[in-house]
Amino acid sequence: MELIDRRTFAGTPAFADKPPLINFVIPCYNEQAVLPETAARLGQLLSTLKADAVISAQSSVYLVDDGSKDGTWATISELASRHADFCGIKLSRNRGHQNALLCGLMSVGGDAVISLDADLQDDLGIIPDMVRRFRHGSEVVYAVRRRRDKDTPFKRFTAEGYYKLLHAMGVQIVFNHADYRLLGRRALEALRDYRETHLFLRGLIPQLGYPAAIVEFDRSERFAGDSKYPLRKMLGLAWQGVTSFSAFPLRLITGAGMLVSLASIAMAVWALLTRLFTDMALPGWASTVIPIYFLGGIQLLGLGIIGEYMAKVYEASKQRPRYHVEAICGAWRETDDDKDLL
Ligand code: UDP
Ligand code: MG
């Protein structure tokens, strides 16, 4: 058994009687079109929250450049040099939204971190409510979309169907919640211990446990630029969610295998009876060819799915780092507590 660090559980948290240090983490991939507006609105929000003593004056925004090919990093560096509330982290190349987000979450200090997208689709207005929930003891606060009326019918249908499918496969997931959430320090430290190569944070966070709360919001349309989640990446993430959290597809193969075997036994009995008791036992083309195709198809499907899981084991066994930081910018503020952590 690992030793318990008793300091973690000692007394009331430091923010019980003063505003908590809340940092914001925003992954950005080719977001130069939207960043100035995002920064302006966040800067404004931070000033208000600090003036209202909702968050501590040390709170900052960390923009993680996920190997962008446009002027995103130049925009971030310029912002960080002008505005003390903004800092930047540049990844050495594009590692994908989930890894960029993880890098931000693992690299910044503070009592809690709020993660959100760069494109202003997430309603900033609910942040005071999220912080309030945190102060009342919720270690994780999920921001959940109330409606999907801004989505195309296709996206709405596939997204909702997907959440239901995951649920049916036994994956614990918060319906209509993406990556807009608050994580307290304890949840962040717990997350550090999960070393999976294929990250699907929205499936992982509910596994942490801890008291959690939900705050609802209406999602707007992307303020500028195009979605960085084309169908291909979307399907990739969806598949990640299924295969990282559920062995259901593997069981499905076993089930299908059993059914097909039973069907073949029944067919063999039928063929035998026909042979023995009737005179219609012409060797039929259909009854030979159909099972060959059918079994061939099932076997290939089965092999494919097993292969997918094997590939995951292979990737995971390499234990490669999930990201590399190339540069940072801005005035990183650390509390004394954070110094122990980082
Ligand atoms: N993103 C990223 N790396 C990627 C793709 C996306 O960091 O490889 C970021 C992107 O900049 C944005 C967030 O992930 O802040 C969500 O992407 P987007 O808004 O394009 O997704 P959508 O809302 O269309 O699903
Ligand atoms: Mg978006």
Which residues, in sequence order, are bridge partners of residue 25?
A: 62, 115
pLDDT band at 132 (very low <50, low <70, confident <90, very high): very high
C-beta of 116 in contact with ligand 1 (< 6 A): no
| Model pLDDT for residues 155-214, shown as the tens digit of each residue | 888 888 888 888 888 888 888 888 999 999 999 999 999 988 888 898 899 999 999 999
Looking at residue 13, its pLDDT comes to 63
Looking at residue 334, its pLDDT comes to 67
| Model pLDDT for residues 277-331, shown as the tens digit of each residue | 887 766 676 677 677 777 877 787 888 888 888 888 888 888 888 999 999 998 8
- Residue of 95, 103, 229 to test ligand 1 pocket, by largest number of atoms within 8 Å of CB: 229
Q: What angle (nearest 5°) sits at the alpha carbon of residue 156, between those of residues 159 and 138?
A: 60
Amino acid symbol at 317? S
| Model pLDDT for residues 54-111, shown as the tens digit of each residue | 999 999 999 999 999 999 999 999 999 999 999 999 999 999 999 999 999 999 999 9
Gap between the Cα atoms of 264 and 267, Å rounded? 5
| Confidence check: pLDDT of 1 > 60 | no
The separation between CA 81 and the C-alpha centre of its own chain, rounded to angstroms, equals 30
Tell me the two tokens of residue 317.
């066994």
Gap between the Cα atoms of 250 and 151, Å rounded? 32
Looking at residue 286, its pLDDT comes to 64
Residue entry with tokens 């609802």: 216
- Of all atoms in ligand 1, which is nearest to the CA of residue 234? 25
Higher per-residue pLDDT: 271 or 69? 69
| Confidence check: pLDDT of 142 > 80 | yes
Looking at residue 293, its pLDDT comes to 72
Looking at residue 335, its pLDDT comes to 58
C-beta of 85 in contact with ligand 1 (< 6 A): no
Gap between the Cα atoms of 208 and 181, Å rounded? 14
Task: State the DSSP code for 14.
Answer: G
pTM of the model: 0.79
Instruction: Identify the CA nearest to 110 among candidates 330, 331, 339.
Output: 339
Read out DSSP for 287-336? HHHHHHHHHHHHHHHHHHHHHHHHHHHHHHHHT--S--EEEEES-----H
Residue 180 phi, psi dihedral angles, 5° rounding? -95, 105
| Confidence check: pLDDT of 342 > 50 | no
Q: Which of 135-139, 143-147, 257-261, 337-341 has the lowest mean pLDDT?
A: 337-341
Instruction: Find out whether 22 and 112 touch, Cβ atoms under 8 Å.
Output: yes
Looking at residue 260, its pLDDT comes to 82
Instruction: Find out whether 26 and 115 touch, Cβ atoms under 8 Å.
Output: yes
Tell me the two tokens of residue 35.
């960043």
Question: Ligand 1: which residue has its CA nearest to atom 16?
Answer: 117
Looking at residue 289, its pLDDT comes to 66
Q: What SS3 state is found at 82?
A: helix
Question: Which bound ligand lies closest to the C-alpha atom of 30?
Answer: 1
Instruction: Find out whether 144 and 213 touch, Cβ atoms under 8 Å.
Output: no
| Model pLDDT for residues 198-249, shown as the tens digit of each residue | 888 988 999 999 999 999 998 877 777 888 877 888 888 888 888 887 878 8
| Model pLDDT for residues 109-121, shown as the tens digit of each residue | 999 999 999 998 8
Looking at residue 232, its pLDDT comes to 83
Amino acid symbol at 245? F
* Listed residues: CB within 5 A of ion ligand 2: 117, 119, 121
User: What number is the average pLDDT over the span 336-340?
Assistant: 53
